[in-house]
Amino acid sequence: MSRQIDDYVRRTTVGLMSRREFFGRTTALGLSTAMAGTLLATSVKAMGPNKGGVIKAGIQGGESTNSLDPALSASSVPSHNLTAFGDLLVEVSPEGEIVNRLAESVESSADARTWHFRIRKGVEFHNGKTLTPDDVLKTMERHSADDSQSGALGVMRGIESMSADGDIFSVTLSTPNADLVYLMADYHLVIQPGGGFDDPASGIGCGPYVLEFDEPGVRHGFTKFANYWDDGRGHADQIEVVVLNDNTARAAALQSGQVHYINRVDPKVAELLGRAPNINIESISGRGHYVFIMHNDTAPFDNNDLRLALKYAIDREEMVDKILRGYGSVGNDTPINAAYPLYSDDLGQRAYDPEKAKFHYEKSGHDGSPIVLKVSEAAFPGAVDASQLFQQSAERAGIPLQVERVPSDGYWSEVWNKEPFCASYWSGRPVQDQMFSTAYKSDADWNDTRFFRDDFDALLAQAKAELDLAKRKELYRQMSVILRDEGGVIVPMFNDFIDAVSTSLGGWVGDPGGGSMFDGALVKAWLL
Amino acid sequence: MTDTLLEVRNLRIDGTVRPPGERPKDINIVEGVSLTLAPGRVMGLIGESGAGKSTVGLSTLRYGRGGLRLSGEIWLNGRNIQTISPGQLRDLRGREVTYVSQSAAASFNPSIRLMDQVIEATVLHRIMSRSEAQKRAVELFGALSLPEPESIGSRYPHQVSGGQLQRVMTAMALCPKPDLIVFDEPTTALDVTTQIDVLAAIKTAIRHTGVAALYITHDLAVVAQVSDEILVLRHGKMVEHGAVQQIIEAPREEYTRALVSAHSIPHEEQAATDNPILRLEDITASYEGKIQVLTDVTAEIHPGQTLAVVGESGSGKSTLARVVTGLLPPERGRVLFDDQPLPPALADRSLEQLRELQMIYQMADVAMNPRQTVATIIGRPLEMYFGIRGAEKRRRVIELLDQIEMGESFIDRYPAELSGGQKQRVCIARSLAAKPRMIICDEVTSALDPLVANGILKLLLNLQADEGVAYMFITHDLATVEAISDSIAVMYQGRLVRYGPKSEVLTPPFDDYTDLLLSSVPELRLGWLEGVVQNRKMESAGY
Amino acid sequence: MIRLAAQRIALGCLLLVAASVLIFAGTQILPGDVAQSILGRSATPESLASLREELGLNKPAVQRYLDWLLAFLGGDLGTALSNGKDIGESVAGRLGNTLFLAGWAAALSVPLAIFLGLLSVRYQDRTPDRMISGLSLASISLPEFFIGYLLIYFLAVKLQWFPSVATLNADMPLGEKLRTIALPVMVLTMVVLAHMMRMTRAAILNVMQSAYIETAELKGLTPFNVIRKHAFPNAIAPIVNVVMINLAYLVVGVVVVEVIFVYPGMGQYMVDHVSKRDVPVVQACGTIFAAVYIGLNLVADLVSIISNPRLRHPK
Amino acid sequence: MTLRRIPISALIGLILTGVAIFVAAFAPFLAPYSPAETVGDVWEPASDQFWLGTDNLGRDLLSRMIYGARITIFIAAAATALSFCVGAVAGFAAAVAGGLTDQAMSRSVDLLMSIPSLIFALVVLSVLPSTVLILILVMAVLDFTRVYRLARAVAVDVNVMDYVEAARLRGERLTWIVFREILPNALSTLVAELGLRFIFMVLFLSSLSFLGLGVQPPESDWGGMVKENKDGIIFGIPAALIPAAAISVLAISVNLVADWILRRTSDLKGGRS
């Protein structure tokens, strides 16, 4: 059997077998997914990456209006660029652990209010300047300024002060946050010389690749940075991001061998594409999830039995099957899944159960008037169809669900967060704390389920300050349980990130943070 | 060499017409035509339009316009050209037989210099080298008494006058030294004074080169001057064939006699009454204030009488009509209708004024809306001016149709379903419907065949007798003038050169222009052309 | 003739200015503003205000237009609001690509169209004519994206002869470039060919009615020479006219093709910036497009003036 | 005129066009399924359950084709009609009025035309709410310029005819001259043009929908359906080819009819000369 596994490992490493397939088979052989993951990872390392060559990626999500300013990066192409020319203080590994990048080490005070990052020495920017903690400080200041347009502005909130002295960069928080280090892994926070105040869009960082040409909306090319500090990255001599927003064009480009991988593969073409002998479909379940949200403070949804009834009345498997066509995983009515650090996999999975649904529905004493679900294609791809499935499965449980379709434009301003029961989408956050505090804390910015629970908030605060991972994990577990059993959110499924990768590319390790190895495939993968 | 150059044996020509949205159907154009022509002889083909003259002429080049189908035998230089290959046919065209068309202006390629077109065939068929051909062309230009024979070849068609073009085209036909030339109404489109020169030029050219010719025309007088024998065609069949003398002096066939005796309409001149219906007071007019086309024209028309305005193209006679109708307000002078000054501009005239002054056009088929039936066309003035509608209107229309000798059966036809003469009659009826006191007739007969034209003229005269309507009759054809006018105005370059009662105007002494004009009108007698040419030579020689 | 030509040119310039005003006005009435659409959902009032200030969006429109016009005439197209790049540079590259594509498409389609036109006149109402007009009818009626994807499927994916994605760049050797744009060129050719061919045919047939064609035939010229020497020269004006219209289309009308083949041309560039309300870019592109269109029509007019012997050789 | 007289090509055109219009008119009765509901798996091949297979969301392609015909033809027809009424009337008016009026109108049309239509449409539609009405308006505005030019050209030709002058001399009003003298003689040319414009509208609409600016989902014209299913093309899935083919067939058949009308009119000219 072990030889069997080794064989799979080898074939997967060199790309003869997709990771999906690999996990399927190894688990079939009785291995735990995690186990198999580490196996694969180690072997990949063992194989050792090939150096040289040119890797090209066909990426959706780029326009001729794109800028190289890290603060403005909001789609795949810009973030590909960031990973190419920039580096972060810390990163979150696919397995959810913190990896030090420009920070050699990270320490925090016992109360998790002050954090110290020891900045790596001898790191050089592409313009020849050497990295100093001051650059880090300036960068963070630029992103946290009040009038900053940075996408990371949100994560910078709650920072009281920052300072740089010696080779230490320190952050002081207004309230304790054990997860700060995760926040610092936000992909916008690329360290720029002088914080990029003078020329934010220069494209100069201390990443593995130097910008060669920048044609927004067309392509971005980079060449290997000779003095790059980390040998574990930047294997190819040159990399190129080709902007291919059109699905068909992307698929065709990969099939005709013009690019080595493409992102955002539409689930329905995934198999078709995978059938090609020289192409693997790489999909990994991320933190993004499709949801139906109920306002806990609005009748009839203020009745937990009704909420439970609806939660039991949805057939998650079917949805993953029909809406995601298998490229996704069932949800458990909590925004947290295995993609999060400190995830506890021992909450029981809630399944479709018409009996229980009927029971709770009757218990709720609802007057039997149709329950209106507002939906639009804008909520998430296939939302309308998903709602129709929901309606049918609910009907089988004797629950009168009425799907009302509303126009796509204005959905986010008029329906979402206003209507008591509608479809929606959450892209997820790097850590549980952030996810909870954005959407489920009583005073959260976007508490779109009107979920006001002091005990929940208390747990959140406690977890924030808890440095003992085991304890935090337990706290998070309790929170998820509360949400699952009493929350207003129905989470039928988590959608996968689907990439299609040429078999000529090696070292592919899916990252729950995002597709294309969290937009880092160009710098992490190599040509076989 | 045989003594017959060309022999046509019972030629038959068929065509196919494709009426819109209908199945195409075959029609016969020419049938049973036979003729023989000896080298150097000239045969005149004469007949009305549609008699198949041109078609027969072109058949000698085995050319059928619009895909006409030729059958029968056409022997040229001893071989039947019906049977030769396309290559041989191309070799025949432009070498053995050449063609001079009615409108040289249209027959020259506007974007190629004349010389290149004149010598094209000659060089193409390797009859001469380019330089020789050019030399010959220049000689021919001279022989055809064209100005600047050396340089005229380097001009473009639009830089040369119509009469000159016609001669250049003759030169083009003569250049490759063909055995036979087909002249297709070469002078019809020209003014009489120009026509005579071209005619003379062509005649001498033919005589000198000794080429044989088919001379196609509808004008007996013209053909009599140039040809040795005449073939009369009608409806695609031969009517009569004989020597010129015999045809014009002793025609056998009824139809031929009619042709010969055309233009003989008895009309007694009437004396001018005291108060004119229309009076033009020293009219001066010009287009966009630039080229002055009318200068100090003063004339008057009396009720129930006809003023003929004669002149060549560009003499300003049509402009005069535009002034009277108000389409072109004059710069100076005024138009009095019934002693009341008419507003110069059309827009300012009252419906009544418009009604009393009607107009008939030269081209009847563009003067009627092709999408309206005869009933609408004639009926419209009735309802406009008199508010007559419905059955009453229809009754009046039928009356009018009877008046123009056409009858009820035509009432629901479209113009396209009428013959040229009938169209013109409908136009007349339309103007009559307004019960006008005066009608302007702009070249109303010049687009028509002689016999048809006569019919129209007679009709107009009868109507004048019945309705007492006055005519302002614009024409370039002096024969017509003599036929119908009471008084005559001769126009030349926008001025009245001679004006007065018919009798005075047409009796000597003449001013130079009128003299030229009158003497240029072809007369139906042998040797007329030579005579005139002779006189002019002598005059120019200063005797 | 010179006067006439001069008039035409003057008119063209006038038209161009008018067009630029129209475009500017149009961009002014676009609802929503740049700042809003740059920042998107994460916009806060402060950041909006600061960005607007920074972009100078709070000057009066007329002044902005004049400033812009002067700069434009001075060859300075300004900088894109959305990514602060110099429009001149970006446009230069994009325009270059567009012209490159249009140029080759024209080089292929124009001669082909005229040849086919002549051919179908020569064999009027016979099999070749019928076939040609049938095919042209079909190609007129096919949506261009349809042709495009079919070509991609067969020539790029199945046979792998040509790349499906036409991302062109300056440092390619010419051969490589041609291979890259092969598919878009084919599509464009198909799209414009039919129209030009039909017009050529119509124009020549129209001339073939004239009497001097008969004269030429009666001189014993071969049918093809009749067309070549006598018909074609007099049909040039209308033919040039339709050619110009199609060239204009090749330059300004190819957004769809650009999308399909991801070709870095002007259209795509402009569309992106429209969605971002990037006024300066939209103005620049719009004006350039208008200039191309007006320019080409001007050429057509001038040709028809020049090719007219009456005007070339006055009496 | 009886069917026998119509040339075969035109007959085919007429029949196909008729079928399309019939289908569009009676869509609800003909369509086996609702165009919006998911009835099968994605991109099922044609079967006797789904005659044309299913589309990218597993909806019955045939039903969507039928409703698509309705939307496509309706919008294209409406836009054509609009642009024609405006364009023709304006063109005639300009031709008959002549002088300054003519100059002013023609120049402003030139101006409008000097802005590339697709770009124009993209700009306008990307900022205005994309409703069917606005779509029609934009398409009409862009198209009427061409109609105007043609109408004016034809009218100018007719306007110089003697019978128009005769009408003027008779003292007819402008309306009579435009509608009774000029219109009937310009009509056939315009009708033929109408057909062509309609095709351009269909293709233009499909381009817009293809660029995502046309009809908004779940409604969809044929062009939009091509867009929805195009991802399948490169995998040899015909779902996108069917609507595209439909567009072509419709265009061709209308073209055939238009050609025929054109030929008839030119015959008429030939008949008169």
Using one digit for the tens of pLDDT, what is the confidence trace for A4-56? 555 555 555 544 455 555 555 555 555 555 555 555 555 555 567 888 899 99
Measured between CB atoms, which of B91, B110, B156 is closest to C220?
Answer: B91
Instruction: Tell me the angle at which helices C2-29 and D99-113 cross, rounded to the nearest 10 degrees.
Output: 60
For residues A118 and A104, is the Cβ–Cβ distance under 8 A?
Answer: yes
B226 and B144 within one domain: yes
Residue D1 is predicted with a pLDDT of 44
Residue B101 is predicted with a pLDDT of 87
CA-atom Rg of chain D in angstroms: 22
B360 and B482 within one domain: yes
B256 within domain boundaries? no
* Domain end marker among B173, B200, B230: B230
Arithmetic mean of pLDDT, B36-47 = 89
Lowest mean pLDDT among B35-39, B413-417, D127-131: D127-131
For residues A143 and A152, is the Cβ–Cβ distance under 8 A?
Answer: yes
Does the structure show a pLDDT above 80 at D262? no
For residues C128 and C119, is the Cβ–Cβ distance under 8 A?
Answer: yes
Residue B290 forms contact with D (CB below 8 Å): no
| DSSP assignments along A74-110, one per residue | -SHHHHHHHHHH---SEEE-TTS-EEESSEEEEEE-T
Residue A158's pLDDT band, with cuts at 50, 70 and 90, is confident
Does the structure show a pLDDT above 60 at A2? no
- Tell me the per-residue pLDDT of D151-182, one tens digit each, with 9 for 90 and over: 888 888 888 888 888 898 888 888 888 888 88
CA B230 to chain centroid? 20
The rounded distance, in Å, linking the Cα atoms of D6 and C151 is 37
Pairing of strands B306-310, B487-492: parallel
B177 and B318 within one domain: no
- Tell me the per-residue pLDDT of B492-525, one tens digit each, with 9 for 90 and over: 888 889 998 988 888 888 888 888 888 888 887 7
B282 and B198 within one domain: no
For residues B411 and B393, is the Cβ–Cβ distance under 8 A?
Answer: no
Residue A407 is predicted with a pLDDT of 66
Residue C41's pLDDT band, with cuts at 50, 70 and 90, is very low
From the list B54, B403, B276, A338, the residue with the least C-alpha distance to C218 is B54
Residue D271 is predicted with a pLDDT of 30
| A326 contact partners, CB below 8 Å, separation of at least 6 | A267, A320
From the list A292, A356, A319, A357, the residue with the least C-alpha distance to A487 is A292
B120 within domain boundaries? yes
Residue B397's pLDDT band, with cuts at 50, 70 and 90, is very high
Token representation of residue B191: 């003014």
Residue B268 is predicted with a pLDDT of 73
Residue D2's pLDDT band, with cuts at 50, 70 and 90, is very low
Pairing of strands A54-59, A261-262: parallel
Pairing of strands B42-46, B229-234: parallel
- Tell me the per-residue pLDDT of D217-256, one tens digit each, with 9 for 90 and over: 667 788 888 888 888 888 888 888 888 888 888 888 888 8
In C, which residues are within 8 Å of B65 by CB distance? 214
From start to end of A135-246, where are the E strands? Answer: 159-165, 168-173, 209-215, 219-224, 238-243
- Tell me the per-residue pLDDT of B193-209, one tens digit each, with 9 for 90 and over: 888 888 888 888 888 88
Q: Which residues pair with B42 in a beta bridge?
A: B213
B301 and B198 within one domain: no
In C, which residues are within 8 Å of D206 by CB distance? 143, 145
B305 and B208 within one domain: no
From the list B370, B410, B61, B54, the residue with the least C-alpha distance to B236 is B54
- Tell me the per-residue pLDDT of A50-77, one tens digit each, with 9 for 90 and over: 888 999 999 988 877 788 999 888 788 9
Element holding A7 (H helix, E strand)? helix A2-13
Lowest mean pLDDT among A458-472, C78-92, C170-184: C78-92
Residues A426, A432, A435, A441: is their CA dihedral positive or negative?
positive
Residue D253 CB coordination number (10 Å) = 24
Q: In terms of pLDDT, which residue wins out, A91 or D53? A: A91
Does the structure show a pLDDT above 70 at B386? yes
Residue B106 forms contact with C (CB below 8 Å): yes
For residues A528 and A280, is the Cβ–Cβ distance under 8 A?
Answer: no
- Tell me the per-residue pLDDT of D82-138, one tens digit each, with 9 for 90 and over: 998 899 888 888 888 878 888 888 888 888 887 777 777 877 776 676 678 888 998
Interface test with D, best of A63, A65, A246, A248 (most D CBs within 10 A): A248
The rounded distance, in Å, linking the Cα atoms of B362 and B448 is 9
Residue A12 is predicted with a pLDDT of 54
Residue B289 is predicted with a pLDDT of 65
B310 within domain boundaries? yes
Lowest mean pLDDT among B132-146, B308-322, C263-277, D62-76: C263-277
- Tell me the per-residue pLDDT of C128-149, one tens digit each, with 9 for 90 and over: 888 888 888 778 778 888 888 8
B339 within domain boundaries? yes
Residue A1 is predicted with a pLDDT of 44
From the list B278, B441, B473, the residue with the least C-alpha distance to B356 is B278
- Tell me the per-residue pLDDT of A284-316, one tens digit each, with 9 for 90 and over: 888 889 999 999 998 889 999 999 999 999 999
Q: Which residues pair with B294 in a beta bridge?
A: B285
Lowest mean pLDDT among A38-42, A211-215, A364-368, D72-76: A38-42
- Tell me the per-residue pLDDT of B435-450, one tens digit each, with 9 for 90 and over: 999 999 988 888 787 7
CATH number at residue B349: 3.40.50.300
B209 and B288 within one domain: no
Instruction: Tell me the angle at which helices C2-29 and C279-306 cross, rounded to the nearest 10 degrees.
Output: 160
B365 within domain boundaries? yes
Lowest mean pLDDT among A237-241, A409-413, C224-228: A409-413
Measured between CB atoms, which of B99, B110, B111 is closest to C218?
Answer: B99
Interface test with D, best of C13, C36, C149, C190 (most D CBs within 10 A): C149
| A330 contact partners, CB below 8 Å, separation of at least 6 | A316, A317, A319, A320, A349, A492, A493, A494
Token representation of residue B109: 């390629």
Arithmetic mean of pLDDT, A478-493 = 93
Q: In terms of pLDDT, which residue wins out, B537 or A386? A: A386
Neighboring chains of D (3 or more beta-carbon pairs < 8 A): A, B, C
Residue B396 is predicted with a pLDDT of 92
Residue D229 is predicted with a pLDDT of 84
Residue C287 is predicted with a pLDDT of 85
Pairing of strands B25-37, B6-17: antiparallel
Query: Considering only residues 241 to 270 of chain B, which have any Cβ-Cβ distance to chain D shorter than 8 Å?
Result: none
Arithmetic mean of pLDDT, A237-266 = 88
Lowest mean pLDDT among A479-483, C8-12, C34-38, C290-294: C34-38
The rounded distance, in Å, linking the Cα atoms of A175 and A516 is 35
From the list C309, C280, C226, the residue with the least C-alpha distance to C72 is C280
Residue A477's pLDDT band, with cuts at 50, 70 and 90, is very high
Residue C284 forms contact with D (CB below 8 Å): no
State percent of chain B over pLDDT 90: 20
Is-above-0.80 flag for pTM?
no
Residue D8 forms contact with B (CB below 8 Å): no
Q: What is the largest CA-CA distance in chain A?
A: 72
B137 within domain boundaries? yes
B139 and B58 within one domain: yes
CA distance D74 to chain A (A): 22
In B, which residues are within 8 Å of C313 by CB distance? 155-156, 158-159
Residue-range definition of the domain harbouring residue B185: 40-66+85-230
The rounded distance, in Å, linking the Cα atoms of B398 and B379 is 10
B486 within domain boundaries? yes
Residues B255, B256, B257, B262: is their CA dihedral positive or negative?
positive
From the list B29, B31, B6, B13, the residue with the least C-alpha distance to B92 is B6
Residue A179 exposed, middle or buried by CB count within 10 Å (0-12, 13-18, 19+): buried
Residue C125 CB coordination number (10 Å) = 8
SS3 sequence of B128-185 = CCHHHHHHHHHHHHHHCCCCCCCCHHHCCHHHCCHHHHHHHHHHHHHCCCCCEEEEEC
B291 and B192 within one domain: no
CA atoms within 13 A on the CB side of B230: 29
Residue D270 is predicted with a pLDDT of 33
Token representation of residue D68: 């698509």
- Tell me the per-residue pLDDT of B368-384, one tens digit each, with 9 for 90 and over: 888 888 999 999 999 99
| A517 contact partners, CB below 8 Å, separation of at least 6 | A94, A508, A509, A510, A511, A524, A525
B283 and B224 within one domain: no
CA distance B407 to chain D (A): 23
**Any idea which residue has 């001339």 for tokens?**
C207
Q: Does chain A touch chain B (at least 3 C-beta pairs within 8 Å)?
A: no
CA atoms within 13 A on the CB side of B393: 20
* Domain end marker among B168, B197, B230: B230
Residue A493 is predicted with a pLDDT of 93
- Tell me the per-residue pLDDT of B210-227, one tens digit each, with 9 for 90 and over: 889 999 988 888 888 888
Contact B384 D171 (CB under 8 A): yes
SS3 sequence of A239-270 = EEEEECCCHHHHHHHHHCCCCCEECCCCHHHH
Contact D231 A266 (CB under 8 A): yes
Provide the number of structural domains found in chain B.
2
B121 and B196 within one domain: yes
Does the structure show a pLDDT above 90 at D193? no
B366 within domain boundaries? yes
The rounded distance, in Å, linking the Cα atoms of B525 and B538 is 21
B182 and B56 within one domain: yes
Residue B530 CB coordination number (10 Å) = 12
Arithmetic mean of pLDDT, B251-268 = 78
Q: In terms of pLDDT, which residue wins out, C138 or A362? A: A362
Residue B275 CB coordination number (10 Å) = 11
Does the structure show a pLDDT above 90 at A334? yes
Residue B301 is predicted with a pLDDT of 92
The rounded distance, in Å, linking the Cα atoms of A467 and A459 is 14
